[in-house]
């Protein structure tokens, strides 16, 4: 009798598993999209930061935003300039020196992203910080020959 009950339990388990639900990965969000091109796939949502994640039986439930399987294909190396920027913060003049004789360009932006000043130079230059209101500014230094740039925060007071 025990063998028959065990056999029926196994048969019931197999039948239930074969007709059980299959849940696809899905997300409910206010905004986002999915894109695919050749061998790349991107899926994202907009919303709050991750609060917590729960894993069970190969399924993942994330509170906050969608988490997907991510594999990193490549990383672009950061462009490193040999830059001397002094004094920072400044109330009069900021001096800028780069360790290359390539044609360089600096662009000074205010906090709203407006371009205030742009200048091409070789090796050394300066910025009259006394001409601008007190505050934080962004200074983008570009190597025009290499086609790369770095951004620095500067403070005028």
Task: Establish if 11 belongs to a structural domain.
Answer: no
Q: What is the count of structural domains for the chain?
A: 2
Task: Establish if 8 belongs to a structural domain.
Answer: no
> Residue 102 sits in which domain range?
83-156
The CB density around residue 11, as the number of other CB atoms within 10 Å, is 10
Global pTM value: 0.51
Q: What is the mean pLDDT of residues 66-88?
A: 63
3-state secondary structure of 107: strand
Residues 110 and 65 in one domain: no
Residue 9 CB-density burial (10 A; 0-12 exposed, 13-18 middle, 19+ buried)? exposed
Residues 87 and 151 in one domain: yes
130, 121 Cβ separation under 8 angstroms: no
Q: Which of 8-12, 102-106, 107-111 is least confident?
A: 8-12
Residue 61 has pLDDT above 80, yes or no: no
Integer Cα distance of 33 and 145 in angstroms:
38
């Amino acid at each position: 009798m025990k063998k028959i009950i065990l056999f029926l339990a196994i048969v019931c388990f197999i039948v239930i598993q074969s007709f059980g639900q299959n849940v696809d990965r899905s997300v409910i969000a206010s905004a986002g999209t999915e894109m695919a091109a050749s061998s790349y796939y991107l899926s994202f949502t907009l919303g709050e930061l991750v609060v917590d994640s729960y894993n069970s039986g190969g399924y993942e439930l994330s509170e906050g935003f969608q988490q997907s399987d991510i594999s990193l294909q490549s990383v672009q190396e950061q462009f490193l300039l040999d830059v001397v920027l002094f004094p920072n913060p400044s109330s009069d003049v900021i001096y800028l020196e780069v360790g290359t004789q390539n044609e360089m360009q600096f662009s000074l932006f205010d906090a709203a992203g407006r371009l205030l000043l742009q200048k091409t130079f070789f090796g050394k230059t300066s910025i009259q910080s006394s001409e601008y209101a007190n505050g934080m500014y962004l200074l983008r230094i570009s190597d025009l020959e290499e086609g790369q740039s770095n951004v620095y925060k500067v403070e005028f007071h």
